[in-house]
């Protein structure tokens, strides 16, 4: 969604010899522990203090030779350590389906953030940097500064992840166990564009990861072409207006099945919103979570679980809990053992969400995301490449094991 992530992820089985592209590259660099001698955690009644951009002035850009690069490239450091953001625990773990590994390094990902086509990579010292691919020979600081601001917003860079993990670890033994296994930090919740996030999760219901990626990649192809990197052609995610021009039959022919009517219906309904669907979605960021869930559930194909994903990953609702089979398993084993043996229902989903908020506070969604990752098969955290032919629409279902993620 990969080479073994040692030492961050232990006991990783070998990758199957087929269905995955062979990758080469060094093992991941050791990550300094973030859960060591630190001040005691703040009470959950207090919202974690958010850092401001002024506390982290943008560092000067440098030419940084990275693993797999034949020539030094113009990489620009970001104010995030590996403890703040570890890419393999953030980009391929079910929040988004549009990033691709485009080099031999398992620590480099390429994707579009708005109109910016860029790669993200960890540096040899564990830091993070980005490479802007589509600046059209304009290497001015303004272009780089605009891209940096966009990626920092997308990565939710002002949220102090280390502080949150310290609080979660102190509050819950299960979280402490999973955090230690994942290396002590780095799994962030993204702040995606709401339109992009909504239509990605319309593709996720009752689906497996390979087909979700193919569908989302097909949808992205209706947007503006940004460029080609590593054999993949990247596009800016289409606007609601562009998606509204796509017919249901066209999507069915591309393998979307019944989800085609949801995508077409949602685009049509958003077009009819006062001021437009983009504005309507953006305004949900200022509403309370129950109102956000209720509003999103009026759209075709959006139920409470998908609405919670959209709320958490794009609408600043940090306490939203998408309750799927993975989260239900965590809840019945560790938070609400009295529910073991029962079937997940909409009513029990609310009970589970409330239990997470009671345990972890106003950023419970971030804690739930880590516990969700802890339930994934270890192979999902490896550097398994997506074949380049997955960028083309196809009618046939890809082979391979079906893996449920946020479905």
State the catalytic residues: 305
Exposed/middle/buried for residue 250 (C-beta within 10 Å: 0-12, 13-18, 19+): middle
Which element (helix H / strand E) includes 118?
strand 116-122
**CA–CA separation, 242 and 239 (whole Å):** 5
**CA–CA separation, 104 and 69 (whole Å):** 9
Classify 204 in phi/psi space as left (phi over 0), alpha (psi -120 to 50) or beta: alpha
> Could you check whether the bond before residue 7 is cis, i.e. omega within 30 degrees of 0?
yes
Placement of tokens 């509003």 in the chain: 295
**CA–CA separation, 301 and 123 (whole Å):** 41
The 3-state DSSP class for residue 362 equals helix
Backbone angles phi, psi at 208, to 5 degrees: -105, 165
Cβ(406)–Cβ(312) under 8 Å? Answer: no
Backbone angles phi, psi at 405, to 5 degrees: -145, 115
């Amino acid at each position: 969604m990969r080479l073994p992530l040692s030492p961050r992820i232990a006991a990783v089985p070998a990758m199957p010899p087929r269905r995955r592209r062979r990758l080469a590259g060094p093992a991941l660099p050791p990550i300094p522990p973030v859960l060591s001698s630190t001040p005691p955690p703040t009470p959950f009644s207090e919202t974690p203090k958010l850092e401001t951009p002024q506390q982290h002035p943008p560092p000067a850009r440098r030419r940084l030779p990275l693993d797999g690069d034949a020539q030094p490239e113009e990489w620009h450091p970001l104010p995030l350590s590996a403890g703040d953001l570890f890419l393999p625990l953030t980009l391929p773990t079910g929040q988004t389906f549009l990033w691709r590994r485009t080099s031999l390094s398992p620590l480099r990902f390429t994707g579009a953030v708005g109109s910016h086509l860029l790669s993200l990579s960890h540096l040899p010292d564990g830091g993070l940097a980005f490479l802007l691919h589509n600046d059209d020979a304009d290497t001015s600081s303004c272009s780089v500064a605009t891209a940096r601001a966009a990626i920092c917003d997308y990565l939710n860079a002002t949220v102090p992840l280390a502080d949150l993990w310290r609080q979660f670890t102190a509050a819950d033994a299960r979280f402490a166990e999973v955090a230690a296994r994942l290396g002590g930090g780095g799994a962030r919740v993204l702040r995606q564009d709401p339109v992009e996030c909504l239509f990605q999760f319309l593709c996720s219901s009752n689906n497996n990861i390979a087909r979700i990626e193919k569908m989302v990649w097909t949808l992205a192809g209706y947007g503006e072409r940004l460029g080609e990197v590593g054999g993949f052609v990247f596009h800016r995610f289409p606007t609601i207006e562009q998606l509204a021009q796509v017919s249901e039959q066209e999507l069915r022919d591309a393998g979307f099945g019944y989800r085609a009517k949801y995508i077409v219906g949602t685009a049509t309904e958003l077009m009819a919103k006062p001021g437009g669907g983009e504005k309507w979605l953006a305004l949900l960021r200022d509403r309370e979570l129950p109102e956000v869930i209720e509003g999103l559930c009026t759209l075709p194909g959006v139920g409470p679980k998908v609405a919670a994903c959209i709320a958490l990953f794009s609408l600043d609702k940090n306490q939203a809990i998408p309750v799927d089979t993975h989260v239900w398993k965590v809840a019945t084993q560790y938070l609400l053992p009295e529910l073991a043996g029962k079937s997940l229902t909409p009513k029990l989903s609310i009970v589970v969400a409330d239990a997470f908020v009671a345990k972890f506070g106003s950023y419970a969604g971030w804690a739930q995301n880590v516990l969700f990752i802890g339930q994934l098969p270890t192979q999902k955290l490896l550097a398994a490449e997506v074949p380049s032919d997955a960028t083309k629409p196809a009618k046939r279902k890809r082979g391979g094991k079906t893996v449920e993620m946020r479905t």
